[in-house]
Structure 1
Amino acid sequence: MDLGLEGVHVLITGASGGIGLETAELFHNQGAIVTAHYHSSYAPLKRFEGLSAKRQAIKADLTKEQEVIALFKSAQSTYGPVQILVINHAISVVEDADLWEMSLDRWQNTINTNLTSSFLVAREYLRNLKIASEDLKEKAAIVLIGSTAGKYGEAGHADYAASKSAMMYGLTMSLKNEIVKLAPRGRVNCIGPGWVRTPMATESLKNPNVAYAALATTPLKKIAEPRDIATQIVLLSSNKVSGHVTGQVLMVEGGMEGRLLNKPKDVGIEL
């Protein structure tokens, strides 16, 4: 299906693995020009970058304002202004920590890495969009990647849940009203994945307790693959098929109904 993305310049943050890399591949298959951002892991992008002249990988620490500015300058110097932005990067600390045990350093690092960096990236995109030509503005779109943790919370990971919730609701809903001041047809949406079989999640899912909690309230009884999320990102980015969709948070989580709080034994039931 032609999504009208031929020649459109897309920047994807956190594109070196999992959802980001799959998204980069799908955009490229649609004829888009892809700038794939990475922070430390270039190896997965080496082959991707080398397959076509319409692909490039750029390193940046997105928590640093000047590196974000340099990222956009570098992307634009090769392929022109970025028209579609996918904010996909994030961290999540593996160790559980209830709020009363969580250090201020952990809280601030998660918020800074996930939320403040997203502000910096979105701001720089919009600043460049402001001075772009009118024809380039026609394809303007931002897709942010949230999480089921942002909708339901996640005990032991309030830092991550808070960062994602802020992106999904406060930031997305504000930006969809602001982008049209610069690009009248510009759109901003968010996708909230549940568990996805990325390399990092696969390791966690080896724990049967984690696997059970991930599926206990999920009607489809399966873990998403990166392509399940990437497909929705590309569709939401396309003005041709999603041109009247903005300010939406699309949950891609197999029908999850919330967080499992108690196992049978916790409520005195023997099965």
Structure 2
Amino acid sequence: MLDLGLEYQHVLVTGASGGIGIEIARVFMEQGAKVTVQYNKSVTALESFAQEQDSTRLHVAQADLSLESSVRSLFMSATSVLGPVHIAVINHGNYIDEDVMLKDMTLERWNASMDANLTSAFLVAREFLKGIEKSQKTENLSEVERERLDWSSIVFVGSTAGLFGEANHSDYAAAKSAVMYGLTLSLKNEIVKIAPRGRVNCVAPGWTHTPKKTEMLKDPDIVYRITATLPLKKIATTYDIAIQIALLSSTKVSGHVSGHVVDVAGGMEGRLLNMREKA
């Protein structure tokens, strides 16, 4: 296994109860990191995951990330159990399945998407940066811990919807695009005012095999439509996404990489590449 130099780093993973989130947590645990996994409503999958892990390095925490008070409580809980957070993987989000054109979209739906995908990301990133600043002022801070804080990192999880747009889901696409570009490119310049070697990057997954999509991806017509614009002609695994996030989080291999959006989507383009007869 490739050593990414993440041992003893405290990683917070939001939205960790989904397929990608659990895989992110698993990869960091395999690297020897300490991991706080956040969920909002359903903890079942995380309970099963936790049974397989070293309990001294894993903390499971509930939080509603749309609420300032809940986000503050999340970081207080994480810090009290595993120490200062060094890496924030802001993975959570919500995609509303119903197709609605912008002209027909209610303000309620628009605001719900912004709260779930953008405002909550702002709240988590803000609390993370505040936490670094506070930890830096701790008396008798060891040189090792100070170095870890100096190299703190944020990795946002966006979406190819934020890159190409998505008809009938402009709310989700707009929120993810704001995370991928507005937040990522701004915060890379701000984080270094607190953590001198701090970095901010983003991973943008395309279609990914997750438990929620298992039944859908049994339909060959759906798979064709997904892969028709992918030169690799395959759908990502959750590991494909998780390992890219770990690589960007790692000072050892990505210590001079900041402000980048890496799409993990098989080379997706906004044009048809593969005819049905050649799929």
The answer to whether the 8 A contact 1:195-1:201 is kept is: no
Over residues 199-258 of structure 1, what are the superposed CA-to-partner deviations in whole Å (9 max), with x where a residue is unaligned? Answer: 223344345553332111101111100000000000100000000000000011001111
Q: CA deviation at 1:128?
A: 0.5
Instruction: Give yes or no for the alignment of 1:149 onto 2:158.
Output: no
Tell me the equivalent position of 2:198.
186
Instruction: Give yes or no for the alignment of 1:93 onto 2:105.
Output: no
Q: CA deviation at 1:103?
A: 1.3
Instruction: Give yes or no for the alignment of 1:62 onto 2:65.
Output: yes
> Amino acid of the residue matched to residue 117 of structure 1?
S
What is the correspondence of 1:207-226 to structure 2 with a 5 Å cutoff?
207-226=219-238
Tell me the equivalent position of 2:150.
138
Over residues 50-102 of structure 1, what are the superposed CA-to-partner deviations in whole Å (9 max), with x where a residue is unaligned? Answer: 33111111000000110000000000001111000000000101111111111
The answer to whether the 8 A contact 1:189-1:236 is kept is: yes
Q: CA deviation at 1:138?
A: 3.0
- Structure-1 separation of matches of 2:220 and 2:147: 52
Tell me the equivalent position of 1:25.
26
Q: Number of aligned pairs?
A: 262
TM-score, with normalisation over the residues of structure 1? 0.93
Further displaced range: 10-19 or 127-136: 127-136
Report SS of the residue matched to 2:154. Answer: strand
- Structure-1 separation of matches of 2:207 and 2:223: 9
Q: CA deviation at 1:187?
A: 0.2
Over residues 12-39 of structure 1, what are the superposed CA-to-partner deviations in whole Å (9 max), with x where a residue is unaligned? Answer: 0001121110010010000000000001
Aligned with 1:252 (options 253, 256, 264): 264
Runs of 4+ in 1 over 6 A off after TM superposition: none
> Amino acid of the residue matched to residue 65 of structure 2?
L
Q: Gaps (5+ residues) in structure 2?
A: 137-145
Instruction: Give yes or no for the alignment of 1:166 onto 2:178.
Output: yes
Tell me the equivalent position of 2:4.
3
Report SS of the residue matched to 2:223. Answer: helix
The answer to whether the 8 A contact 1:152-1:259 is kept is: no
TM-score, with normalisation over the residues of structure 2? 0.90
Over residues 179-209 of structure 1, what are the superposed CA-to-partner deviations in whole Å (9 max), with x where a residue is unaligned? Answer: 0000010000000110001122334434555
The answer to whether the 8 A contact 1:48-1:55 is kept is: no
Q: Note closer, same or farther for the CA distance 1:259–1:107 as it changes in structure 2 (3 Å cut).
A: farther
- Structure-2 separation of matches of 1:102 and 1:208: 31
Q: CA deviation at 1:41?
A: 1.2
Instruction: Give yes or no for the alignment of 1:106 onto 2:105.
Output: no
Aligned with 1:74 (options 42, 56, 77): 77
What is the correspondence of 1:114-125 to structure 2 with a 5 Å cutoff?
114-125=117-128
> Amino acid of the residue matched to residue 237 of structure 2?
E
- Structure-2 separation of matches of 1:55 and 1:216: 40
Tell me the equivalent position of 2:49.
48
- Structure-1 separation of matches of 2:216 and 2:74: 32
The answer to whether the 8 A contact 1:35-1:56 is kept is: yes
- Structure-2 separation of matches of 1:203 and 1:120: 34
Tell me the equivalent position of 1:268.
none
- Structure-1 separation of matches of 2:105 and 2:221: 23
The answer to whether the 8 A contact 2:151-2:196 is kept is: no
- Structure-1 separation of matches of 2:47 and 2:154: 25
Instruction: Give yes or no for the alignment of 1:205 onto 2:208.
Output: no
Tell me the equivalent position of 1:269.
none
Tell me the equivalent position of 1:237.
249
- Structure-2 separation of matches of 1:163 and 1:202: 26
- Structure-1 separation of matches of 2:17 and 2:259: 27
**CA-atom RMSD in angstroms:** 1.5
Q: Note closer, same or farther for the CA distance 1:63–1:198 as it changes in structure 2 (3 Å cut).
A: same
